[in-house]
Amino acid sequence: MPARNPFIVTIDGPAGVGKTTLAKKVAEALHVAYLDTGAMFRAVATWIGPGAWDLPEETLAGCLDTVQFEVRGVGAETQLFRNDCLVGPKERTEEVGMWASRLATRPAVREFMKDMQRQFGARTSLVAEGRDMGTVVFPDAAYKFFLDADPRVRAGRRAAQLRDMGKEADEEVIFEAIEARDRQDRSRAVAPLAPAPDAVIIDTTTLDLDEVFARIMQFFRD
């Protein structure tokens, strides 16, 4: 188990790679809070609304001043609240994911999120899941992981996840959305998606959840 307290574990990677499920599972095993930073971006996107990424910087900053986040609980039971409202399924659509990705290109939003996330990390141990946790937000994290997988495999996993939630899922549409999201995230000028130099990179294409979890947890054994 990690000796540093509070300590940070970062799990980064592209859309549909399984970060959320694995981060919750790792947080549960370590009995620490789980921070879904992607959900934070999605929650801000739904709060401000479509077109938020085109607002003038000053207007956008004013909107961000009205946002407060809170993390409650630990492990898989961790809950994220925006302005006392639980962040949930309505933020999980592919459309909102694209809104969040566009909004993430704005410097004011990145700075706001970075400050908020670092405040969480200063107060409590975290498993922080996102796209730039190990590179930008927590560059001194004790443990860093970067997950990746073939886009087709990620699309299939995402479709299965949506169907398990009782939602319709067109795998081809999801695949196209994932490829568009990848291009947007990897090529943006501000905090592009990339593994930290000292991150452990795990290709999950041919691995199931338990296998990836086992590879991650081996780093926490005495």
Provide the residue-wise pLDDT of the chain in tens; the chain has 222 residues: 565 678 999 999 998 898 889 999 999 999 999 998 889 999 999 999 999 999 999 999 999 999 999 999 999 899 999 999 999 888 878 788 889 988 988 989 999 999 999 999 999 999 999 889 999 999 999 999 999 999 999 999 888 888 888 888 899 999 998 998 888 888 877 777 889 999 999 999 999 999 999 999 999 975
Query: Would 174 be classed as within a structural domain?
Result: yes
Q: What is the pTM of this model?
A: 0.83
CATH number at residue 77: 3.40.50.300
Note whether residue 213 is domain-resident.
Answer: no
Q: Is residue 147 part of a domain?
A: yes
- The Cα–Cα gap between 213 and 207 comes to 10
Closest CA relative to residue 208, chosen from 166, 149, 130 = 149
Do the domain assignments include residue 39? yes
CA 30 from chain centre, in angstroms, equals 18
Instruction: Report CA-CA distances (Å) from 66 to 30, 112, 171.
Output: 33, 11, 37
Which two tokens mark 92?
């999980």
Domain with 24 in it: 8-207
User: Structurally, how many domains does the chain consist of?
Assistant: 1
Q: Which residues contact 19 (CB under 8 A, 6 or more apart)?
A: 11, 12, 13, 38, 129, 130, 147
